[in-house]
Amino acid sequence: MELRQLRSDEFEISTKLSEYAFQVSLSQEQRESRKEHFKPEQSWGIFDGDDLQAKLTIIPLQIYMQGRTINMGGIAGVATWPENRRQGHVNTLLKHALQEMKNKGQSISCLHPFSVPFYRKFGWEVYAEYKKYIIPINNFPRKVSVEGRLVRDVLDIPTLSDMYQVYARNYNGMLVRDEAWWRRSVLTDGVHNVVYYSAEGQATGYALYHLKNKELVCDEFVFFNEEARSALWTFFGNHDSRIEQATMKMVPVDDQLPFILPEPRVIQEVVPYFMARIVDLKSFIEGYAFERHQEAVITLAVKDSAAPWNAGIWRLSVNEAGRAELTELPNDHEEQADLSTDIQSLSALFTGYKRPHELYSIHRLNGNPQAAAQLESMIPTGHTHLMDFF
């Protein structure tokens, strides 16, 4: 068996495996588009001679974390032929991918799991979830008159992108989108958009949606103020002759829409979505912005079987400016560690998906309660979100 990057002439065997594994059948147009954008250097496979046994792709991306951008390795296209399963191929590929991402300075990795328990074994943990609402047309927020204007199907990607960036920086884990991503992955066929411009001409909100079977399905709803939100909902409400309900998808968990509805008892669902894992603990922590207060020192015992460079005893030192230094200690300090945990728990914690006190209460963070309380005070409160898929 050989582990190596795919070559440019191996698009067909890679696509054939993907179609089988993910139960899809690409049209000729889709196949040509994927071939045009095929980057073999991003895909790794296990080969038996010329036969591809299993594969995965590492997409070099960036996400917002605490308002800044950090490099992220997006894991996608993990696939194995059924006759080659349970032979350790994916285990080998994922551990190799972690080393590759570390080498390339991608301190965190994200993926959409086919199975949460499977990827937890390799250190990934759920970090983002979204709300989904189903709202009957007669229960929409009331229509209002606004001084600005609504423009449908705006073709100016920078206008949409500028609003998205402002919105995305408020959450940990949102994808940094370039224009190519907008064209290929966001503004796909059948997707409409509507932008609200204030009376001063400023774009202050947008929605992406499509219409199907008397339903308006909204995938993104971004607004900077109540005027923009009301204007966008008035636009939706003006579809009352065409739709019976709206399905709102990819809604952040801190959203308060039901409270302003005439009848808040609508169908609501919270959906666990993407997983994340810290690839390089030292690099990630030393780039993290802790709360500014007096200097603090905590020792952490960390387990990470898939990325051994993260495992061990660490001294976390944070100065008054909130900057951290992570120093590895000899293993004989394990019994003296203030707190013990694993890499997936730290991934949920530092992305902002879970707080230290929550992890401590369910025994995912163990040790000195005073140290856990100190860690609680050191980590800023934040919300996670993701509206993309890869």
pLDDT at 334 exceeding the cut of 70: no
Question: Does one domain contain both 210 and 325?
Answer: no
Q: Is residue 115 part of a domain?
A: no
Q: Is residue 159 part of a domain?
A: yes
pLDDT of residue 100: 98
Question: Does one domain contain both 211 and 239?
Answer: yes
pLDDT of residue 294: 85
For residue 154, give its domain range: 131-272
Global pTM value:
0.93
Cα separation of 177 and 326, whole Å? 31
Which has the closest alpha carbon to 389: 205, 113, 116?
113
Kindly report, residue by residue over 294-313, the tens digit of the pLDDT. 899 999 999 999 999 999 99
Question: Does one domain contain both 136 and 246?
Answer: yes
Helix (H, G, I), strand (E, B) or coil at 253: coil
Question: Does one domain contain both 69 and 138?
Answer: no
Q: Is residue 86 part of a domain?
A: yes
Length of the chain: 390
3-state helix, strand, coil in the chain (%, to 5): 30, 35, 35
Cα separation of 46 and 44, whole Å? 7
pLDDT of residue 317: 97
Least confident among 35-39, 90-94, 313-317:
35-39
Helix (H, G, I), strand (E, B) or coil at 66: coil
Percent of the chain predicted with pLDDT > 90: 94
Q: Is residue 120 part of a domain?
A: no
Question: Does one domain contain both 189 and 136?
Answer: yes
Q: Is residue 36 part of a domain?
A: yes
Kindly report, residue by residue over 207-255, the tens digit of the pLDDT. 999 999 999 999 999 999 999 999 999 999 999 999 999 999 999 999 9
Question: Does one domain contain both 157 and 264?
Answer: yes
Q: Is residue 250 part of a domain?
A: yes
Q: How many CA atoms lie within 13 A of 218 on its CB side?
A: 22
Q: Is residue 113 part of a domain?
A: no
Q: Is residue 307 part of a domain?
A: yes
Question: Does one domain contain both 246 and 294?
Answer: no
Question: Does one domain contain both 241 and 268?
Answer: yes
Domain count, the chain: 3
Question: Does one domain contain both 70 and 169?
Answer: no
